[in-house]
């Protein structure tokens, strides 16, 4: 496979590929893998470059030994099957969440797969640091199978290349907009290839401020969920539904704003927020605007998913007061991924999930954890999807 990629001059290797062929000698959670992942975790948490990058620290933390061990024991648990990798996994990763590729890749790596990771053509400081860290661990030559089994590439949009790789892949992890995903799904792949698709989604936050006097924890959590990846990740909340209070709590908004660290937003940010504001106003849905340097809040009289069309991240929240949680069942559609919640009774949350349409909402997590990655994502248990169960029935 690696040799075949050489036919395409458009492909750039983001990390120097190994001269070795795919070895295929790894199995789920094998020693070399666990040791590699541990080294990566340490390097990210302790490295001088990565320690300043909150998203890289979060990745390092997620990869910590205890977490990996618990994923491992839950996975291998009390199964009657023998687990094998699925084979070669092709990761088509997104541009706006620049280090998402790492989560996609690492879960697949833990399962012992061979990986071809297509990164977006858009570089970022964070991503470069991460690739350097990965590269230096691979270069240490302590992990020969990992060095030969993982290829990091980038190439301009090119169906021929995507097809060539797809025809050799046993699974494709497709992260992207609906348009991109549809285009990739239309490309012929190996007949037994399984597509694991992460298409356009949005996330919301559900609050009940009644009886809450201290906003510190909430503000801190909201700021964390909004700040990561400039609020462009699917899991970052774009809409806040507040139960039972009719005023916009400006003291809370002010506290959220104070928790946001200064970020270099794009020069289009103000115009993008102005478009959202004017669209809502023109439709006579805008009740109030709070505009702070790092945060814009638009209070709306009602929610429709259309307002998401002109949401371009970078610190923009739609705020909607609702009388009761049940109102959500009428407005949320199938593209809703995460509900982050604060001060909502667990029984009410479970009731809500049961009452929502069958095909919506993949995660319900406390405020502040919206971006925490988990092996169950968009409804897939990725450890299951990226492995094969082998049945072994003993005879005589």
Partner 1 sequence: MSELIPEDWFEMNPFALNQADKEIKMRQTLTSLHHHHLQHCEAYSNLFSDASMDSLEDFPYLAVRLFKYLTLQSIPQEQVFKILYSSGTTGQTPAKVILDQDTSRRQSKVLVKVLQDFIGKKRMPMLIIDHPGVLKSKDSYSARGAGIQGLSMFGRQPIYALNEDMSLNIEVVQAFAETHKNQPVLLFGFTFMVWQHFLQSLRKSENALNLNSGILLHSGGWKKLEAQKVSNEEFKRVCRKTLNIEKVHNFYGMAEQVGSIFVECEAGHLHAPIYADVVVRDPQTLKVIDNNNPGLLQVLSIVPGSYPGNSLLTEDLGSVLGVDDCLCGRKGKYFQVLGRLPKTEVRGCSDTQA
Contact positions vs partner 1 (CB under 8 A) = 92-97, 118, 120-122, 157, 174-180, 183-184, 198-202, 232-234, 266-272, 274-275, 278-279, 281-284, 308-310, 312-313
Q: Which C-beta is closer to partner 1: that of 201 or that of 363?
A: 201
Separation of alpha carbons 301 and 316, rounded Å: 16
Q: Which C-beta is closer to partner 1: that of 70 or that of 121?
A: 121
What are the backbone dihedrals phi and psi of residue 262, each rounded to the nearest 5 degrees, phi first? -60, 135
Separation of alpha carbons 221 and 206, rounded Å: 13
Separation of alpha carbons 100 and 49, rounded Å: 18
Contact, 156 vs 121, CB < 8 A? yes
In the structure encoding, which two tokens stand for residue 307, read together? 């307002």
Q: How many CB atoms lie within 10 A of CB 110?
A: 27
Q: Which C-beta is closer to partner 1: that of 8 or that of 310?
A: 310
Q: State the minimum distance, in angstroms, from the CB of residue 177 to partner 1.
A: 5
Q: State the minimum distance, in angstroms, from the CB of residue 373 to partner 1.
A: 14
Q: State the minimum distance, in angstroms, from the CB of residue 35 to partner 1.
A: 31
Q: State the minimum distance, in angstroms, from the CB of residue 364 to partner 1.
A: 19
Q: Which C-beta is closer to partner 1: that of 49 or that of 123?
A: 123
Dihedral of the alpha carbons of 131, 132, 134, 139, in degrees to the nearest 10 = 130
Q: Which C-beta is closer to partner 1: that of 74 or that of 178?
A: 178
Q: State the minimum distance, in angstroms, from the CB of residue 181 to partner 1.
A: 8
In the structure encoding, which two tokens stand for residue 138, read together? 């691979």
Dihedral of the alpha carbons of 31, 34, 39, 45, in degrees to the nearest 10 = -160
Contact, 235 vs 369, CB < 8 A? no
User: What sign does the CA torsion over 133, 29, 97, 53 have?
Assistant: negative
Q: State the minimum distance, in angstroms, from the CB of residue 245 to partner 1.
A: 25
Q: Which C-beta is closer to partner 1: that of 163 or that of 389?
A: 163
């Amino acid at each position: 496979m690696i040799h075949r990629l050489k036919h395409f001059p458009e492909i750039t290797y983001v990390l120097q590929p190994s001269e070795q062929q795919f070895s295929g000698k790894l199995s789920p959670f094998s020693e070399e893998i666990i040791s590699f992942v541990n080294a990566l975790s340490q390097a990210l948490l302790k490295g001088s470059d990565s320690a300043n990058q909150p998203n890289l620290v979060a990745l390092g933390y997620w990869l910590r030994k205890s977490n990996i061990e618990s994923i491992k024991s839950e996975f291998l648990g009390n199964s009657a099957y023998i687990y094998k990798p699925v084979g070669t996994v092709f990761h088509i990763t997104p541009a706006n969440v620049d280090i998402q590729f790492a989560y996609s890749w690492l879960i697949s790596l833990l399962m012992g797969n061979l990986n071809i990771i297509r990164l977006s053509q858009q570089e970022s400081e964070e991503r470069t640091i991460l690739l350097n860290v990965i590269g230096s661990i691979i270069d240490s030559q302590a992990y020969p199978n990992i060095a030969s089994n993982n290829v990091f590439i980038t190439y301009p949009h090119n169906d021929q290349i995507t097809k060539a790789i797809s025809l050799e892949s046993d699974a494709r992890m497709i992260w992207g907009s609906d348009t991109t995903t549809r285009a990739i799904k239309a490309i012929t792949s190996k007949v037994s290839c399984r597509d694991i698709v992460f298409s356009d989604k949005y996330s919301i936050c559900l609050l009940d401020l009644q009886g809450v006097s201290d906003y510190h924890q909430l503000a801190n959590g909201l700021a964390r969920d909004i700040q990561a990846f400039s609020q462009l990740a699917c899991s970052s909340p774009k809409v806040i539904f507040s139960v039972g209070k009719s005023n916009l709590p400006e003291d809370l908004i002010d506290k959220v704003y104070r928790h946001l660290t200064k970020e270099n937003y794009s020069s289009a940010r103000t115009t993008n927020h102005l478009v959202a504001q004017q669209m809502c106003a023109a439709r006579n849905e805008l009740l109030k605007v709070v505009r702070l340097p790092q945060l814009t809040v638009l209070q709306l009289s009602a929610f429709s998913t259309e307002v998401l069309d002109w949401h371009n991240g970078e610190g923009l929240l739609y705020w909607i007061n609702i009388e009761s949680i049940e109102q959500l069942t009428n407005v949320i559609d199938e593209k809703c991924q995460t509900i982050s919640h604060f001060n909502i009774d667990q029984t009410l949350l479970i009731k809500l999930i049961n009452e929502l349409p069958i095909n919506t909402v993949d995660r319900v997590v406390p405020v502040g954890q919206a971006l925490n990655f988990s092996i169950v994502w968009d409804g897939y248990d990725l450890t299951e999807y990226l492995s094969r169960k082998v049945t072994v029935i003993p005879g005589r």
